[in-house]
């Protein structure tokens, strides 16, 4: 059989690749952008340190002294970040986390220090939780049977909110996943004439396996786990429900934590609420990228920007990330 001439190939009329031909064109049509002002840098300050202490599982992240903390937040302001989230690590802990309420406690002093240093340039946020301050490592007070007592814990959160507000904080972040925590914190702030202090609610916070490096970062004393109050990773609709409850109780911003393993929840929450949505790119997510990059398995800088872009693409307006300062430099 004699072969005839080949049929001409039908050429595509629509060529999406045209919009990918140059870097300038790709930038121009990009659907999602990450700006430094959308990034928040979590920082740890530890009582009694003479110099910053590296966190082994989080390369490049340290426990700060009060002095080195000020250098870090000044840099954050110069880079145009949106804010900093402060975590305090006390020298001593007890069953009720009394260091969290002490006006001379490490976190309350750090708030005042940071506000004085960069208060006009950054949103100064504080972690409102007891886990760093309790010798059992839980986010609340325990009852006689060793279970977290939701309502007694709320009383402590109200006191902690007032202490942070008195120290000068712009935004408190109740992160303990106690039922009713946003309402109690809002009422405490308003009753003490701190109506301008806003609330970033850790609304959908999951009992995640990716929190491990954070436990090192705050010298956690956790005994057991937090599955009775943090959310089950299997539940997406519940995350939306928690966010809606927090908005009804007065949250100014709601957050999903972790971010990368819960992008579907970020999207669902974004579609359900009319307040800004934050997502926390947590320690384990950070550590995985850093470890893979150290082995030469991935392009570190490209992976950082891709991860942050994915969180924005899912719907987050604000991203808490340990890469905030570096990402701001890369975005320039």
**Could you give the residue numbers annotated as active site?**
205, 257
Q: b/e per residue, 182-192, with b = 16+ CB within 10 A?
A: bbbbbebbeee
> Is residue 106 helix, strand or coil?
helix
- DSSP class of residue 144 equals T
CA 258 distance to own-chain centroid:
8
210 alpha carbon, distance to own chain's centre:
13
Count other Cβ atoms within 10 Å, centred on residue 235: 14
The three-state secondary structure class of 3 is coil
Cα-based angle 243, 248, 253 (whole degrees, multiple of 5): 55
Alpha carbon distance 220, 227 (integer Å): 16
Q: How far apart are the first and last CA of the chain?
A: 64
């Amino acid at each position: 059989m004699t072969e005839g001439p080949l049929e001409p190939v039908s050429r595509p009329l629509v060529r999406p690749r045209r919009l990918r031909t140059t870097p300038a064109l790709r930038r121009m049509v990009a659907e999602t952008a990450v700006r430094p002002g959308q990034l928040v840098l979590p920082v740890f300050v530890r009582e009694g340190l003479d110099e910053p202490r590296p966190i082994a599982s989080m390369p490049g992240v340290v426990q700060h002294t009060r002095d080195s903390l000020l250098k870090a937040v000044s840099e954050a302001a110069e880079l145009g970040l949106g804010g900093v989230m402060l975590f305090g690590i006390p020298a001593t802990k007890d069953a009720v986390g009394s260091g969290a309420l002490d006006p001379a406690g490490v976190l309350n002093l750090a708030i005042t220090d940071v506000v004085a240093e960069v208060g006009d340039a950054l949103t100064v946020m504080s972690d409102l939780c007891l886990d760093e301050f309790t010798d059992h490592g839980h986010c609340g007070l325990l009852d006689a049977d060793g279970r977290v007592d939701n309502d007694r814990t709320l009383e402590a959160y109200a006191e902690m909110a007032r202490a942070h507000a008195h120290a000068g904080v712009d935004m408190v972040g109740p992160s303990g996943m106690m039922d009713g925590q946003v309402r109690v914190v809002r009422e405490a702030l308003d009753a003490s004439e701190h109506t301008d202090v806003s609330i970033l609610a850790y609304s959908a916070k999951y009992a995640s396996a990716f929190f491990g490096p954070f436990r090192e970062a705050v010298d956690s004393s956790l005994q057991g786990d937090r599955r009775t109050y943090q959310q089950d990773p299997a539940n997406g609709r519940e995350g939306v429900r928690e966010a809606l409850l927090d908005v009804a109780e007065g949250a100014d911003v709601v957050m999903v934590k972790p971010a990368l393993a819960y992008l579907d929840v970020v999207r669902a929450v974004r579609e359900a609420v009319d307040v800004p949505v934050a997502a926390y790119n947590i320690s384990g997510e950070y550590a995985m990228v850093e470890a893979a990059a150290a082995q030469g398995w991935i392009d570190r800088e490209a992976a950082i920007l891709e991860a942050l872009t994915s969180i924005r693409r899912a719907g987050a307006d604000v991203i808490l990330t340990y890469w905030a300062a570096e990402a701001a430099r890369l975005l320039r």
